[in-house]
Amino acid sequence: MNLPKYYGAGHLKKFLQRQDINTNKMKLMKGYVFASFRNEEERDKAMEKLKGIVYKGNTLDVKLAKPMQDPLIKKRKADAEAEVDGEKKARKELKTETLTITEQITKKTVPYAGKPYSEQLSLKKQDMLTVLKKLTKEVRNAHQKAGHFIQSKKVAHGAICEFTEMIPSPVSEKYRNKCEFTVGVNPETDEITLGFRISTYKEGSYAVGPVSHLAFISDAMREAVRVFEEYFRASGRKPYNPEDHSGFWRQVLVRTNLAGEVLAVVQVHPQNLSPEELDSVKSELKKVAEANKIISLYFEAVGPKKSGEDSPPEHIMGSTHLVEKLCGLEFSISPLAFFQVNTLAAEVLFNKIAEIAEIDSNTNILDVCCGTGTIGLSLAKKCRRVYGVELVESAVEDARSNASKNGITNCVFVAGKAEDEVNNLIDGIKQKDLEEGVEGGKIVAILDPPRAGLHKKCCQLLRSAERIERLIYISCNAQAAMKSFIDLCRAQSNAYGGIPFIPVKAMAVDLFPDTPHCEFILVLERYRPT
């Protein structure tokens, strides 16, 4: 406590490290910080060292904080308090008493199930138009000099740019190629079940319901769930209980391809089992997989983690990757790599990107958050070079392998944070052009970041790269990406250099039938008023 008015998390962390204090986590508040430690010994040592120490002219004070309450206990306590007048409990019972477990799973997972597909597309289009209207207002506030231009577009299109089309998925059933299933207990049958949580642990439940009725699950995935569920029930081991941390079976990640092949990652809590006992479990799982045409099997033991500890799943049987065909190319997909969950709709998405990117043989593609390289590789034959950056190293290895497998030689993929690597990649493009005597080669940036959007620094770098005239931003949650859209478009300033971008076109591709979600595509160009 008693921290200075202005300080940075990085600076504070370095200060603590100089005092030989290693925190597990820190949460910065106004005037104070919550810090957690691996054990009581580390905590007590930190309290002793920090008491009365001076940081940036302020004498620090230290106080022992109460531990954060377990979310399930907190939920139960809140419910108990609400039960005094019976209102909260009555509302909850009224809401769920008429729904079976299967119906609850359907409502939570695929809320649009049962609606005609044309109606689903109409609802999604309305959502995207709402996003564009909000973006219109936000960009007008952030770039007031473009106000007249934005108003003219609003008159013409109802928003900052035209929404051209809501593109349907080629398939509306059995489309999902990846799911993570939880092992738990079905409260209706009291049986071990491999499926989806009925509600989140934070909401006060760790019950699990079946998934065989869900239309988006493929036949191969449905069969894999049945096989593992049958084995778990016969194993004599209980599902993991997040409340008291007892139990063994945690979850199963299942990936499938269009050929019906299956890759699975079985995750357990090792408890106090010896390495020999865990090896015995692995042997049993291998037999189950081999007997049921599962071509790749991984095993992951996840107990209480120490700070910085991150061990990948252990490959125990079959192929190390799943292979999928997309846009005439073959892609190897490792267990944890990002790959679009609807393969056939992803092909529609990539073809649309190729169309709107307006690339030619003199175009360099900057593929930001490239995953396993699917978008960049699908465009490689149409452009000069592809430069991709991805945080997950195994995905970058997959991207390089995919390029080699498909005989593509004009792609460079690097592992790292986009905000750290984008500048290096742009410098690399300039250097290559200089070496080859190419002048005026354009750069088109394709951005497919995680749900929360791009890092602020990445937006700043993209704006500052003068040769980037066009951006294609792909988002599965346009509302969450709103800040990134605004940062790319806001007026020029010391913090945001370069000519700002402006949206010129928007559309969406439905990769997630029976759900409210879709992939939103926003095309942006430099704002150059005539």
Q: Give the pLDDT band (50/70/90) at residue 271.
A: very high
pLDDT reading at 72 higher than 60: no
Question: What pLDDT shows up at residue 433?
Answer: 83
Which string of b and e fits 118-135 if b means at least 16 CB within 10 Å?
eebbeebbebbbebbebb
CA distance linking residue 467 with residue 463, whole number of Å: 10
- Percent residues over pLDDT 70 in the chain: 90
User: Count of CB atoms within 10 A of residue 43's CB?
Assistant: 17
- Taking residues 361-370, report their average pLDDT: 94
> What would the pLDDT profile of 1-12 be if each residue is shown by its tens digit?
677 766 667 677
Which domains does the chain carry? Answer: 9-59 (no CATH), 71-109 (no CATH), 138-169+342-526 (3.40.50.150), 178-325 (2.40.50.1070)
- Taking residues 68-95, report their average pLDDT: 52
For the record, the structure tokens of 165 come out as 């089309």
- Look at residues 65, 62, 66 and name the one whose alpha carbon lies nearest to residue 53: 62
Q: pTM for the complete prediction?
A: 0.80
CA distance linking residue 240 with residue 122, whole number of Å: 41
**Cα 508 from chain centre:** 18
Q: Which amino acid is at 65?
A: A
Q: Is 324 annotated as a binding residue?
A: no
Q: Respond yes or no: is residue 383 known to be catalytic.
A: no
Question: What pLDDT shows up at residue 377?
Answer: 97
Q: Is 340 annotated as a binding residue?
A: yes
Q: Give the pLDDT band (50/70/90) at residue 200.
A: low
For the record, the structure tokens of 338 come out as 């990002």
Q: Which residue has the tokens 């909000």?
A: 134
CA distance linking residue 277 with residue 504, whole number of Å: 60
- Look at residues 345, 328, 359, 332 and name the one whose alpha carbon lies nearest to residue 476: 345
Q: How many residues does the chain have?
A: 530
How large is the angle between the packed helices 147-157 and 117-142, nearest 10 degrees? 160
CA distance linking residue 247 with residue 268, whole number of Å: 9
pLDDT reading at 308 higher than 50: no
For the record, the structure tokens of 336 come out as 């944890």
- Taking residues 469-486, report their average pLDDT: 96
pLDDT reading at 214 higher than 90: yes
Q: Which member of 179, 369, 459, 476 is catalytic?
A: 476
Question: What pLDDT shows up at residue 90?
Answer: 44
**69-78, 287-296, 399-408, 419-428 — which is least confidently predicted?**
69-78
What would you report as the CA-atom Rg of the chain, rounded to the nearest whole angstrom?
26
CA distance linking residue 424 with residue 431, whole number of Å: 10
- Taking residues 476-499, report their average pLDDT: 95
Q: Is 42 annotated as a binding residue?
A: no
CA distance linking residue 368 with residue 459, whole number of Å: 11
Q: Is 50 helix (H, G, I), strand (E, B) or coil?
A: helix
